Structure 1
Amino acid sequence: MGIPMDDNIHAPTVASGPTSGGTPLDFSKLSMADLMQEKERIEAELSALSSVLNSHGVRMSSSLTTFDGFPRDDIDIAQVRTTRVRIIHLRNDHKEVMAHLEKGLHAHFAQLQNAQGAMATTNGTSVPSVAPASVTDNSIGDAGTQSTPFAKVNSVEPRSPAAEAGLKAGDTIRGFGGVHWLNHERLSKVAETVQQNEGRSLTVKVTRKNEDGPGTTELDLQLTPRRNWGGRGLLGCHLVPL
């Protein structure tokens, strides 16, 4: 599988620190576009910091002492500690940004509902209401979180789980299990979902260009990650972020 397999970064929650060493950002005052930019910036820095830990051969939970309690001399302990603290701050910032993005989506769908209600009153017709849904439960569907592609299928190995599910090179991914464009974290969440669901079927929402004409087709494919299919990885496909 060609997606980045970052370390699982789990750490106790602490108070969020400044995002740039100065005054902490007030995410509540940012527009949706600015929140999306901040989300991408945080995810890029998290990816870079994860690479720093990888370069030392450690994770968030790795011990910095030897088995007999002495500080390890094979790593830069000060740098690892500083990097871990920064990761904790950034993950808290990321959670806050995602919460404000969800709030913005709720407000957007509330406006749509109010607009449709006004049209129904003006025209004297009945219009079905559109209920806003939560980003976290993936129930917005095509009108929300799973309408925007976040990854593209670069290649698919023959006879792989991805090929058996019907994935094709050129497909764009709108949803991968519970992962969508707001929470994929540069595809690290896709890798995590695959690892956690080996042998279990996942719904993959795909947009595919029509071969016999203009336009696209949206598909819901069932993909089961598994080993021992004859190639590398659990999927047998290469994904790149959009």
Structure 2
Amino acid sequence: MGFSIPPPPNPMEHAQSLIKKKSNIEAEIESQISILNANQSTLQTPLVDADGFPRADIDVYAVRGARVRIIELRNDLRDVTEEIGKALEAIYDPSRAPKDSQPEAGADELAPFAKVNGVAPGSPAAEAGLQREDLVVKFGPLDHKAFSASSLQPLADHVAANEDSVAHEVLADFDLTESYNDQGLAGGTVGVCDSNPSNRLGGTGHIGVSEEIPTLNACAI
């Protein structure tokens, strides 16, 4: 009988679930041992008499079943104990933790690529809490590394593929189930960041955000 528990996303929850499983296994082992004790037997006690017949003074069937189950449970206990060790290592040793539990991205990965120049009253962006001068460092899974001086297509593609919602990780989540001012899914007009501050682009769209950023290229989202 094998033992397997799908690991929860949280390492601590995974360790706790394994510890609980270990306690349950140990409790069942004790229950099976009590069956042996009730029959004054152990894992090695002979089940037949001197003539080779099943012993009449014990419940041979119950003892045999308890022995098999104890062996299975001890194997499970060994496996779960090993898994607990690995789970604790993942909690207390960051180098062994899953990638999604590693520390937050560094400052370079959180460089802003857009600045909120205005938020239309009553818009989804306003309801989500966006404010003027907020810096956008992430749009869904996209950060500044996703954009180049020649294309904003990743942003437009992401909005088109996620009509229900798009998350500004640093700013807020907002709903795209309805359009805003009839200008497209997200409704924002944005540009690719450029080192030339004289290139500016502003626009307001579905989410009610006007973004002013240095730009070489632009598209409506």
**TM-score of the pair, normalised by structure 2:** 0.39
Larger Rg: 2
Q: With a CA cutoff of 8 Å and minimum separation of 6, indicate the structure with the bigger relative contact order.
A: 1
**TM-score of the pair, normalised by structure 1:** 0.35
